[in-house]
Structure 1
Amino acid sequence: MRPCLAATTLTLLSVALLGGCASMYSSDSAAVYSKSDMRQVHEVEYGKVLDVKTVKMEGDKNDLLTLGGTALGGIAGSSIGQGRGSAAGAVIGAMVGGMTAQSMQRGATKDAYELTVQTDKGRTISIVQEADVPISVGQRVKILSGNGTARVLPQ
Protein backbone atom coordinates (compact mmCIF):
# COMPACT_ATOMS: atom_id res chain seq x y z
CA MET A 1 0.00 0.00 0.00
CA ARG A 2 1.35 3.45 -0.87
CA PRO A 3 2.39 5.57 2.16
CA CYS A 4 -0.07 8.35 1.26
CA LEU A 5 -3.01 5.95 1.00
CA ALA A 6 -2.02 4.21 4.23
CA ALA A 7 -1.76 7.51 6.10
CA THR A 8 -5.11 8.72 4.75
CA THR A 9 -6.80 5.45 5.69
CA LEU A 10 -5.29 5.61 9.18
CA THR A 11 -6.46 9.21 9.56
CA LEU A 12 -10.05 8.45 8.60
CA LEU A 13 -10.20 5.40 10.86
CA SER A 14 -8.75 7.34 13.79
CA VAL A 15 -11.23 10.21 13.41
CA ALA A 16 -14.13 7.74 13.23
CA LEU A 17 -12.89 5.95 16.36
CA LEU A 18 -12.45 9.19 18.27
CA GLY A 19 -15.93 10.29 17.22
CA GLY A 20 -17.41 7.10 18.60
CA CYS A 21 -15.58 7.55 21.90
CA ALA A 22 -16.85 11.10 22.34
CA SER A 23 -20.49 10.08 22.13
CA MET A 24 -20.05 7.53 24.94
CA TYR A 25 -19.58 10.25 27.57
CA SER A 26 -22.35 12.66 26.67
CA SER A 27 -26.07 12.18 27.18
CA ASP A 28 -29.24 14.23 27.02
CA SER A 29 -31.30 11.33 28.31
CA ALA A 30 -33.98 11.83 30.94
CA ALA A 31 -32.65 8.71 32.65
CA VAL A 32 -28.97 9.80 32.84
CA TYR A 33 -27.85 12.29 35.47
CA SER A 34 -24.69 14.36 35.25
CA LYS A 35 -22.35 14.54 38.22
CA SER A 36 -23.41 18.17 38.81
CA ASP A 37 -27.06 17.01 39.19
CA MET A 38 -26.17 14.78 42.11
CA ARG A 39 -27.25 15.93 45.58
CA GLN A 40 -29.04 18.96 44.12
CA VAL A 41 -32.61 19.99 44.85
CA HIS A 42 -34.92 19.69 41.84
CA GLU A 43 -38.48 20.96 41.69
CA VAL A 44 -41.06 18.28 40.92
CA GLU A 45 -44.19 18.98 38.95
CA TYR A 46 -46.74 16.59 37.48
CA GLY A 47 -48.70 16.80 34.26
CA LYS A 48 -50.12 15.15 31.19
CA VAL A 49 -48.40 14.83 27.80
CA LEU A 50 -50.26 16.75 25.07
CA ASP A 51 -47.90 16.09 22.17
CA VAL A 52 -44.81 14.03 21.34
CA LYS A 53 -42.87 15.07 18.26
CA THR A 54 -39.80 13.12 17.10
CA VAL A 55 -36.92 15.48 16.28
CA LYS A 56 -33.18 15.16 15.63
CA MET A 57 -30.62 16.40 18.12
CA GLU A 58 -27.37 17.58 16.55
CA GLY A 59 -24.08 16.01 17.51
CA ASP A 60 -21.82 17.51 20.15
CA LYS A 61 -18.83 19.67 19.22
CA ASN A 62 -15.61 18.39 20.71
CA ASP A 63 -12.51 20.55 20.23
CA LEU A 64 -10.21 17.66 21.14
CA LEU A 65 -11.62 15.53 18.32
CA THR A 66 -11.28 18.43 15.88
CA LEU A 67 -7.67 18.92 16.96
CA GLY A 68 -7.01 15.20 16.54
CA GLY A 69 -8.51 15.24 13.03
CA THR A 70 -6.40 18.27 12.18
CA ALA A 71 -3.21 16.62 13.42
CA LEU A 72 -3.89 13.33 11.69
CA GLY A 73 -4.80 15.13 8.45
CA GLY A 74 -1.55 17.11 8.65
CA ILE A 75 0.47 13.94 9.15
CA ALA A 76 -1.28 12.23 6.25
CA GLY A 77 -0.88 15.29 4.01
CA SER A 78 2.83 15.63 4.78
CA SER A 79 3.50 12.28 3.13
CA ILE A 80 2.62 13.85 -0.23
CA GLY A 81 5.67 15.06 -2.14
CA GLN A 82 8.94 16.34 -0.75
CA GLY A 83 10.17 19.72 0.44
CA ARG A 84 7.61 22.46 -0.21
CA GLY A 85 5.15 19.92 -1.61
CA SER A 86 5.27 18.04 1.68
CA ALA A 87 4.66 21.28 3.66
CA ALA A 88 1.74 22.25 1.40
CA GLY A 89 0.33 18.74 1.69
CA ALA A 90 0.55 18.97 5.51
CA VAL A 91 -1.35 22.27 5.57
CA ILE A 92 -4.04 21.05 3.17
CA GLY A 93 -4.26 17.70 5.00
CA ALA A 94 -4.66 19.49 8.35
CA MET A 95 -7.47 21.66 6.98
CA VAL A 96 -9.27 18.69 5.46
CA GLY A 97 -8.76 16.58 8.61
CA GLY A 98 -10.13 19.30 10.90
CA MET A 99 -13.14 20.00 8.68
CA THR A 100 -13.87 16.27 8.34
CA ALA A 101 -13.74 15.79 12.12
CA GLN A 102 -16.13 18.72 12.68
CA SER A 103 -18.50 17.50 9.97
CA MET A 104 -18.60 14.00 11.46
CA GLN A 105 -19.41 15.42 14.89
CA ARG A 106 -22.27 17.58 13.59
CA GLY A 107 -23.61 14.71 11.52
CA ALA A 108 -23.79 12.33 14.49
CA THR A 109 -27.40 13.15 15.29
CA LYS A 110 -29.56 11.37 17.87
CA ASP A 111 -33.30 10.84 17.98
CA ALA A 112 -35.04 13.11 20.48
CA TYR A 113 -38.56 13.99 21.59
CA GLU A 114 -40.07 17.44 21.75
CA LEU A 115 -42.59 16.94 24.54
CA THR A 116 -45.46 19.33 25.17
CA VAL A 117 -46.86 18.90 28.67
CA GLN A 118 -49.86 20.47 30.42
CA THR A 119 -48.86 20.71 34.07
CA ASP A 120 -51.30 20.23 36.90
CA LYS A 121 -50.69 23.90 37.77
CA GLY A 122 -52.09 24.90 34.35
CA ARG A 123 -48.85 25.76 32.56
CA THR A 124 -48.05 24.40 29.10
CA ILE A 125 -44.35 23.62 28.72
CA SER A 126 -42.12 22.08 26.07
CA ILE A 127 -38.97 20.07 26.75
CA VAL A 128 -36.64 18.38 24.25
CA GLN A 129 -34.79 15.31 25.49
CA GLU A 130 -33.17 12.19 24.09
CA ALA A 131 -35.74 9.65 22.86
CA ASP A 132 -34.63 6.74 25.04
CA VAL A 133 -37.43 6.82 27.64
CA PRO A 134 -40.78 5.86 26.07
CA ILE A 135 -43.37 8.62 26.52
CA SER A 136 -46.72 8.87 24.75
CA VAL A 137 -49.58 11.35 24.34
CA GLY A 138 -52.02 11.27 27.25
CA GLN A 139 -49.48 9.76 29.64
CA ARG A 140 -49.08 11.15 33.17
CA VAL A 141 -45.51 12.36 33.73
CA LYS A 142 -43.22 13.85 36.34
CA ILE A 143 -41.21 16.94 35.39
CA LEU A 144 -37.95 17.49 37.28
CA SER A 145 -36.29 20.89 36.93
CA GLY A 146 -33.25 22.51 38.47
CA ASN A 147 -29.77 23.78 37.65
CA GLY A 148 -31.10 25.18 34.36
CA THR A 149 -32.24 21.79 33.08
CA ALA A 150 -35.49 19.84 33.05
CA ARG A 151 -36.47 16.28 32.26
CA VAL A 152 -39.75 14.44 31.76
CA LEU A 153 -40.17 10.93 33.16
CA PRO A 154 -43.12 8.55 33.25
CA GLN A 155 -45.01 8.87 36.54
Structure 2
Amino acid sequence: MNRSESGIKFIFCIMAAAMLTMAGCASSSSNVYTHEQAMQAQTVDTGTVASVKSVIIQASKPPVAGGAIGGVTGGVIGSTIGQGHGRDLATIGGALAGAAVGAAIEHKAGTKNGFEIVVNLDSGRTIVVVQEADVPISPGDRVRVLTAPDGTTRISK
Protein backbone atom coordinates (compact mmCIF):
# COMPACT_ATOMS: atom_id res chain seq x y z
CA MET A 1 0.00 0.00 0.00
CA ASN A 2 1.47 3.37 -0.99
CA ARG A 3 1.40 6.53 1.07
CA SER A 4 -1.57 8.00 -0.80
CA GLU A 5 -3.74 4.92 -0.20
CA SER A 6 -2.94 4.82 3.51
CA GLY A 7 -3.77 8.53 3.79
CA ILE A 8 -7.14 7.96 2.13
CA LYS A 9 -7.94 5.04 4.45
CA PHE A 10 -6.96 7.17 7.46
CA ILE A 11 -9.30 9.97 6.36
CA PHE A 12 -12.16 7.51 5.81
CA CYS A 13 -11.63 6.15 9.34
CA ILE A 14 -11.73 9.66 10.82
CA MET A 15 -14.90 10.49 8.88
CA ALA A 16 -16.63 7.27 9.94
CA ALA A 17 -15.71 7.83 13.59
CA ALA A 18 -16.99 11.41 13.46
CA MET A 19 -20.30 10.34 11.94
CA LEU A 20 -20.81 7.63 14.56
CA THR A 21 -20.02 10.11 17.31
CA MET A 22 -22.55 12.61 15.97
CA ALA A 23 -25.21 9.92 15.71
CA GLY A 24 -25.09 9.36 19.47
CA CYS A 25 -24.93 12.98 20.65
CA ALA A 26 -28.55 13.78 21.39
CA SER A 27 -31.35 11.68 22.73
CA SER A 28 -35.01 12.15 23.50
CA SER A 29 -35.37 8.59 24.72
CA SER A 30 -37.41 7.58 27.73
CA ASN A 31 -34.55 5.24 28.70
CA VAL A 32 -31.54 7.55 28.27
CA TYR A 33 -30.46 10.14 30.81
CA THR A 34 -27.68 12.70 30.45
CA HIS A 35 -25.01 12.94 33.13
CA GLU A 36 -26.64 16.15 34.36
CA GLN A 37 -30.05 14.44 34.69
CA ALA A 38 -28.71 11.52 36.74
CA MET A 39 -29.23 11.69 40.49
CA GLN A 40 -31.71 14.60 40.21
CA ALA A 41 -35.09 14.44 41.93
CA GLN A 42 -37.96 14.36 39.45
CA THR A 43 -41.65 14.91 39.97
CA VAL A 44 -43.86 11.95 39.11
CA ASP A 45 -47.44 12.12 37.88
CA THR A 46 -49.52 9.16 36.79
CA GLY A 47 -52.11 8.91 34.09
CA THR A 48 -53.62 7.02 31.20
CA VAL A 49 -52.47 7.28 27.59
CA ALA A 50 -55.28 8.77 25.50
CA SER A 51 -53.55 8.56 22.11
CA VAL A 52 -50.22 7.86 20.45
CA LYS A 53 -49.16 9.31 17.10
CA SER A 54 -45.97 8.44 15.20
CA VAL A 55 -43.75 11.45 14.50
CA ILE A 56 -40.23 12.19 13.27
CA ILE A 57 -37.84 13.90 15.68
CA GLN A 58 -35.33 15.98 13.75
CA ALA A 59 -32.16 17.55 15.11
CA SER A 60 -32.66 21.26 15.68
CA LYS A 61 -29.24 22.24 14.32
CA PRO A 62 -28.58 22.16 10.58
CA PRO A 63 -25.90 19.66 9.50
CA VAL A 64 -22.50 21.39 9.50
CA ALA A 65 -19.81 19.04 10.78
CA GLY A 66 -20.75 16.20 8.42
CA GLY A 67 -20.58 18.50 5.41
CA ALA A 68 -17.25 19.93 6.52
CA ILE A 69 -15.71 16.53 7.21
CA GLY A 70 -17.11 15.13 3.96
CA GLY A 71 -15.87 18.14 2.00
CA VAL A 72 -12.34 17.83 3.32
CA THR A 73 -12.31 14.08 2.77
CA GLY A 74 -13.68 14.39 -0.76
CA GLY A 75 -11.19 17.15 -1.57
CA VAL A 76 -8.25 15.08 -0.35
CA ILE A 77 -9.40 12.05 -2.31
CA GLY A 78 -10.04 14.16 -5.41
CA SER A 79 -6.55 15.64 -5.16
CA THR A 80 -5.06 12.20 -5.75
CA ILE A 81 -6.73 11.91 -9.15
CA GLY A 82 -5.21 13.18 -12.38
CA GLN A 83 -2.66 15.93 -12.95
CA GLY A 84 -2.62 19.69 -13.42
CA HIS A 85 -5.99 21.26 -14.24
CA GLY A 86 -7.72 17.87 -14.12
CA ARG A 87 -6.50 17.34 -10.57
CA ASP A 88 -7.89 20.75 -9.58
CA LEU A 89 -11.30 19.85 -11.01
CA ALA A 90 -11.22 16.44 -9.31
CA THR A 91 -10.35 18.14 -5.99
CA ILE A 92 -13.25 20.60 -6.30
CA GLY A 93 -15.67 17.89 -7.45
CA GLY A 94 -14.56 15.58 -4.65
CA ALA A 95 -14.99 18.33 -2.06
CA LEU A 96 -18.50 19.18 -3.28
CA ALA A 97 -19.60 15.54 -3.47
CA GLY A 98 -18.04 14.76 -0.07
CA ALA A 99 -19.76 17.75 1.53
CA ALA A 100 -23.14 16.67 0.15
CA VAL A 101 -22.71 13.06 1.30
CA GLY A 102 -21.40 14.11 4.73
CA ALA A 103 -24.31 16.52 5.29
CA ALA A 104 -26.82 13.84 4.24
CA ILE A 105 -25.29 11.31 6.65
CA GLU A 106 -25.35 13.81 9.51
CA HIS A 107 -28.96 14.77 8.74
CA LYS A 108 -30.03 11.11 8.75
CA ALA A 109 -28.15 10.50 12.02
CA GLY A 110 -30.06 13.41 13.61
CA THR A 111 -33.49 12.08 12.60
CA LYS A 112 -35.29 9.60 14.86
CA ASN A 113 -38.70 7.96 15.01
CA GLY A 114 -40.81 9.24 17.85
CA PHE A 115 -44.22 9.26 19.48
CA GLU A 116 -46.49 12.18 20.31
CA ILE A 117 -48.17 10.84 23.44
CA VAL A 118 -51.32 12.42 24.88
CA VAL A 119 -51.77 11.55 28.57
CA ASN A 120 -54.82 12.21 30.72
CA LEU A 121 -53.26 12.74 34.14
CA ASP A 122 -55.00 11.50 37.26
CA SER A 123 -55.04 15.14 38.42
CA GLY A 124 -57.43 16.00 35.58
CA ARG A 125 -54.88 17.77 33.36
CA THR A 126 -54.04 16.55 29.86
CA ILE A 127 -50.48 16.81 28.54
CA VAL A 128 -48.64 15.92 25.36
CA VAL A 129 -45.07 14.62 25.37
CA VAL A 130 -42.92 13.84 22.31
CA GLN A 131 -40.16 11.29 22.81
CA GLU A 132 -38.28 8.59 20.91
CA ALA A 133 -40.27 5.52 19.94
CA ASP A 134 -38.04 3.24 21.99
CA VAL A 135 -40.67 1.93 24.41
CA PRO A 136 -43.97 0.49 23.17
CA ILE A 137 -46.80 2.72 24.41
CA SER A 138 -50.46 2.29 23.45
CA PRO A 139 -53.72 4.08 24.21
CA GLY A 140 -55.12 2.84 27.51
CA ASP A 141 -51.70 2.16 29.07
CA ARG A 142 -51.15 3.37 32.63
CA VAL A 143 -47.96 5.44 32.67
CA ARG A 144 -45.74 7.58 34.84
CA VAL A 145 -44.88 11.09 33.69
CA LEU A 146 -41.42 12.07 34.94
CA THR A 147 -40.49 15.76 34.94
CA ALA A 148 -36.91 16.80 35.70
CA PRO A 149 -35.96 20.15 37.29
CA ASP A 150 -34.86 21.40 33.85
CA GLY A 151 -38.38 20.79 32.50
CA THR A 152 -37.50 17.64 30.55
CA THR A 153 -40.53 15.36 30.61
CA ARG A 154 -40.68 11.71 29.63
CA ILE A 155 -43.28 8.96 29.68
CA SER A 156 -42.43 5.66 31.37
CA LYS A 157 -44.39 2.48 32.07
For normalisation by structure 1, the TM-score amounts to 0.77
1:57 is the counterpart of 2:60? no
Aligned to 2:70: 69
Instruction: State whether residues 63 and 107 of structure 2, in contact with CA within 8 Å, keep that contact through their aligned partners in structure 1.
Output: no
Aligned to 1:124: 126
Aligned to 1:19: 19
Change (3 A) 1:8 1:96: farther
Q: CA deviation at 1:12?
A: 7.4
Aligned to 1:4: none
Instruction: State whether residues 55 and 116 of structure 2, in contact with CA within 8 Å, keep that contact through their aligned partners in structure 1.
Output: yes
Aligned to 2:88: 87
| Identical columns (%) | 34
AA of the residue aligned to 2:115: Y
AA of the residue aligned to 1:58: Q
* Poorly superposed stretches of 4+, deviation over 6 Å: 7-14
Unaligned runs of 5+ in 1: 1-6
Q: CA deviation at 1:16?
A: 5.4
- Aligned residues: CA RMSD: 3.1
Tell me the matched-pair count.
Answer: 151
Q: CA deviation at 1:51?
A: 0.4
Instruction: State whether residues 46 and 145 of structure 2, in contact with CA within 8 Å, keep that contact through their aligned partners in structure 1.
Output: yes
AA of the residue aligned to 2:88: A
| CA–CA separation in structure 2 for the residues paired with 1:53 and 1:63 | 30
1:152 is the counterpart of 2:129? no
AA of the residue aligned to 1:123: R
